[in-house]
């Protein structure tokens, strides 16, 4: 038994060394132990030439759809996430993004094809549709000489991520702010959950937070009903460092129509949160996107991604409109 394990270990190490040697010419090497940055290829550190122009239009949420129709879309090709384990995804091959700002708020719109509306994660086998938008936290230069990992940043190079979730959109309209088990299993019966809406029926227990819900008692945003937004505001400094912010500043709205998603995320150009990217008209930054298709089992690192940064430029405010 021990010999077998030893043999497998040696085999695994040999395979690892061969893989490292085979991919050495593709990896942007900066030495040992530099995290995600060392995993990015030279090509991934060359931003796309075509920028997303965030058009200045004097519109707000109630007129934003018309404003988006006046903004030129940027089409991005997506691919499966193939670097960090567990990898996967790739079922969403392209996405269209538009940007508009009104001098105080910025709006991003995303459209992509998805034949299945996956907005429920109440059972083990269900996964959500979602879209993520990522910016370097600070104003940076990105090139092979000044790399910035498009794969969730790196140590000393944080990113701000906005993550819209289809199930949060659904929960916004649900009783108690989240769905009941009976919504997924209408014919279920247990000895204890005899009421059709047990969360509502057991309201007193539900509000005895320390007794029944450690996540809620700890203030974990993911455990809270009535989150007040469909977008999670996050930071990361590389793989496996994704962290929910204390200050949630991003809002969203999403609609599944004509076999695809139409999602808008929006926020004030400037916030008081030092962990947020700040947008200044006339100044350029970069962005990357990721899309999850729950029908294909996408979750976490299993997603479709754009691997090269795209420039994003905000038009200056025009006072003659
Ligand atoms: Ca789907
Ligand atoms: Ca924030």
Tell me, yes or no, whether 96 lies in a domain: yes
Question: Residues whose CB is under 5 A from ligand 1 (ion)?
Answer: 114, 116, 118, 129, 293, 295
State in Å: Cα 296 to ligand 2 middle: 30
State in Å: Cα 9 to ligand 1 middle: 39
Q: Record the pTM.
A: 0.84
Tell me, yes or no, whether 5 lies in a domain: no
State in Å: Cα 166 to ligand 2 middle: 20
CA distance 164 to 7: 46
- DSSP class per residue in 86-149: S-B-----EEEEEEEE-SSEEEEEEEEE-SS------STT----EEEEEEESS----SSSS---
CA distance 216 to 267: 26
State in Å: Cα 181 to ligand 2 middle: 32
State in Å: Cα 205 to ligand 2 middle: 32
Q: Which ligand is nearest to the CA of 276?
A: 2
State in Å: Cα 97 to ligand 2 middle: 22
* Domain, as residue range, for 299: 36-178+229-314
CA atoms within 13 Å, Cβ hemisphere of 97: 26
153 and 235 co-located in one domain = yes
pLDDT in tens, the chain (321 residues): 334 434 444 444 444 434 333 333 322 223 333 455 556 788 889 999 999 999 999 999 999 999 999 999 999 999 999 988 889 999 999 999 999 999 999 999 999 999 999 999 988 899 999 999 999 999 999 999 999 999 999 999 999 999 999 999 999 888 777 787 778 888 887 666 566 666 666 666 666 766 677 888 888 898 888 899 999 999 999 999 999 999 999 999 999 998 999 999 999 999 999 999 999 999 999 999 999 999 999 999 999 999 999 999 999 998 765
State in Å: Cα 221 to ligand 2 middle: 13
- Residue 288: name the closest of 303, 275, 298, 271 by CA: 303
State in Å: Cα 156 to ligand 1 middle: 35
User: How many independent structural domains does the chain possess?
Assistant: 2
Q: Which ligand is nearest to the CA of 129?
A: 1
Element (H, E) at 6: helix 2-22
150 and 296 co-located in one domain = yes
127 and 250 co-located in one domain = yes
Element (H, E) at 260: strand 260-268
51 and 90 co-located in one domain = yes
Tell me, yes or no, whether 319 lies in a domain: no
245 and 145 co-located in one domain = yes
Q: Which ligand is nearest to the CA of 270?
A: 2
Q: Which ligand is nearest to the CA of 246?
A: 2
Q: What is the CATH number of the domain that holds 298?
A: 2.60.40.1190
Burial of residue 111, with CB atoms counted within 10 A of its CB: 0-12 exposed, 13-18 middle, 19 or more buried: buried
State in Å: Cα 175 to ligand 1 middle: 24
Q: Which residues of 1-11 are buried (b: 16+ CB within 10 A; e: fewer)?
A: eeeeeeeeeee
Q: Which ligand is nearest to the CA of 116?
A: 1
Tell me, yes or no, whether 285 lies in a domain: yes
Q: Which ligand is nearest to the CA of 249?
A: 2
Q: Which ligand is nearest to the CA of 278?
A: 2
Question: Residues whose CB is under 5 A from ligand 2 (ion)?
Answer: 233, 245, 247, 249, 273, 276
Q: In this predicted model, what pLDDT tens digit does every residue of 146-202 receive, in sequence order? A: 999 999 999 999 999 999 999 999 998 887 777 877 788 888 876 665 666 666 666
49 and 193 co-located in one domain = no
196 and 213 co-located in one domain = yes
The pLDDT value recorded for residue 14 is 40
Tell me, yes or no, whether 42 lies in a domain: yes
Tell me, yes or no, whether 267 lies in a domain: yes
218 and 99 co-located in one domain = no
152 and 254 co-located in one domain = yes
Tell me, yes or no, whether 265 lies in a domain: yes
Burial of residue 264, with CB atoms counted within 10 A of its CB: 0-12 exposed, 13-18 middle, 19 or more buried: buried
203 and 170 co-located in one domain = no
The pLDDT value recorded for residue 312 is 98
């Amino acid at each position: 038994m021990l010999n077998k394990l030893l043999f497998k270990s040696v085999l695994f190490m040999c395979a690892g060394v061969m893989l490292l040697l085979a991919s050495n010419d593709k990896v942007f090497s900066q030495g040992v132990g530099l995290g995600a940055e060392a995993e990015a290829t030279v090509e991934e550190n060359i931003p796309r030439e075509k920028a997303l122009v965030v058009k200045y239009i004097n519109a707000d949420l109630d007129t934003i759809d018309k404003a988006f129709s006046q903004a030129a879309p940027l089409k991005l090709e997506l691919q499966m996430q193939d670097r960090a384990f567990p990898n996967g995804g790739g079922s969403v091959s392209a996405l269209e993004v538009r940007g508009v700002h009104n001098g105080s708020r910025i709006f991003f719109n995303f459209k992509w094809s998805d034949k299945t509306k996956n907005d429920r994660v109440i059972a083990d086998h269900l996964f959500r549709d979602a879209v993520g938008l990522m910016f370097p936290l600070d104003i940076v230069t990105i090139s092979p000489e000044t790399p910035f990992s498009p794969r969730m940043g790196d140590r000393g190079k944080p990113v701000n991520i906005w993550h819209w979730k289809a199930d949060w959109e659904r929960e916004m309209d649900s009783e108690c702010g989240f769905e009941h088990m009976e919504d997924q299993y209408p014919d279920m019966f247990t000895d204890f959950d005899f009421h059709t809406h047990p969360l509502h029926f057991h309201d007193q227990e539900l509000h005895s937070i320390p007794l029944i819900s450690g996540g809620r008692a700890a203030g974990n945003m993911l455990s809270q009903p009535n989150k007040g937004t469909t977008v999670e505001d996050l930071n990361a400094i590389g793989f496996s460092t994704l962290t929910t912010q204390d200050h949630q500043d991003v809002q969203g709205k999403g609609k599944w129509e004509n076999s695809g998603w139409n999602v808008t995320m929006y926020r004030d150009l400037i916030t008081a949160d030092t962990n947020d990217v700040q947008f200044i008209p006339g100044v350029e930054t970069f962005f990357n996107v990721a899309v999850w298709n729950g029908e294909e089992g996408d979750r976490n690192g299993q997603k479709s991604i754009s691997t090269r940064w795209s420039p994003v430029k905000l038009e200056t405010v025009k006072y003659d409109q």
